[in-house]
């Protein structure tokens, strides 16, 4: 499986090699290169198929909202009070605010092998 990995990602390794050679010539370019590699690596692993393990295979079929609920979160409200004498006082008051939490489920398909999977997550609004 390792030889297949290197064979399918030969373009990636060629580009990385060219960037390393150029970054050795220009040190400012090295910082840009490292940033680009980090972003590319994150994108590659984020879009990896769990079945065939190929990068950039994940395609979003549809996103579905599963549920929505409201919870109440305790926060500390800070305010500054100015006195007529010119002094200021920091006042901390406990407060309760409503927070809406929405649960989503994303359905994906692999462009390479056709494997389908789903991923659920929550987002607070």
pLDDT in tens, 21-38: 776 776 677 777 777 778
pTM value is 0.58
Torsion angle of the four alpha carbons 16, 17, 20, 21, in this order, in degrees rounded to the nearest 10:
-150
**120 and 70, same domain (yes or no):** yes
**DSSP type of residue 63:** E
Whether 110 and 63 map to the same domain: the answer is yes
Sequence-separated (6 or more) residues with CB below 8 Å from residue 18: none
Residues 76 and 125 in one domain: yes
Across 73-94, average pLDDT: 87
Number of domains in the chain: 2
What pLDDT, on the 0 to 100 scale, is given for residue 63?
93
Whole-number pLDDT of residue 65 = 93
Range of the domain at 38: 1-46
pLDDT in tens, 10-21: 777 777 777 777
Rounded to whole angstroms, how far apart are CA atoms 37 and 109? 26
Same domain, 32 and 71: no
Q: Are 57 and 49 in contact (CB under 8 A)?
A: yes
């Amino acid at each position: 499986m390792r030889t297949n990995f290197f064979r399918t990602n030969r373009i990636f390794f060629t580009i990385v090699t060219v960037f390393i050679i150029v970054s050795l010539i220009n040190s400012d370019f090295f910082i840009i290169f490292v940033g680009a590699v980090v972003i590319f690596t994150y994108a590659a692993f984020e879009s990896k198929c769990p079945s065939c393990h190929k990068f950039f295979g994940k395609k979003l079929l549809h996103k579905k909202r599963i549920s929505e609920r409201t919870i109440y979160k305790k926060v500390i409200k800070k305010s500054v009070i100015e006195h007529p004498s010119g002094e200021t006082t920091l006042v901390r008051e406990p407060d309760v605010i409503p927070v809406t939490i929405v649960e989503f489920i994303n359905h994906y398909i692999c462009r390479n092998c056709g494997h389908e999977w789903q991923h659920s997550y929550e987002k607070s609004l």
